[in-house]
Amino acid sequence: MANGDIAAAAGYTTFSSSQAHSLGYDDINYVLDQVANEKARATTAEGGLVATSKIIISTSTPTEVDGALWFKPVS
């Protein structure tokens, strides 16, 4: 499975492999796959600690983060 496939299936925006490899799209897609895997793990019986509604992915600081996971994309 190519990097980014899991993330795309989870609804994340990924980068196409037609872009220049030097732009790092493959690394970004790999990290998004890891985030998607962790989100899936954390919301199953194995993790069971974080509800999907408590995962925030935002470029700005959320008004309330109490008990939530906050991922801030770095550009």
Confidence at residue 24, expressed as pLDDT on a 0 to 100 scale: 79
Q: What is the pLDDT of residue 47?
A: 56
Tokens of 50: 């974080």
Q: Are 23 and 49 in contact (CB under 8 A)?
A: no
Tens-digit pLDDT profile for residues 35-45: 998 888 777 66
Q: Which residue has the higher pLDDT, 34 or 71?
A: 34
pLDDT in tens, 10-66: 888 888 877 777 777 888 888 889 999 888 877 766 555 556 666 777 777 666 666
Q: What is the pLDDT of residue 23?
A: 76
Would the pTM of this model clear 0.85, i.e. be above it?
Answer: no
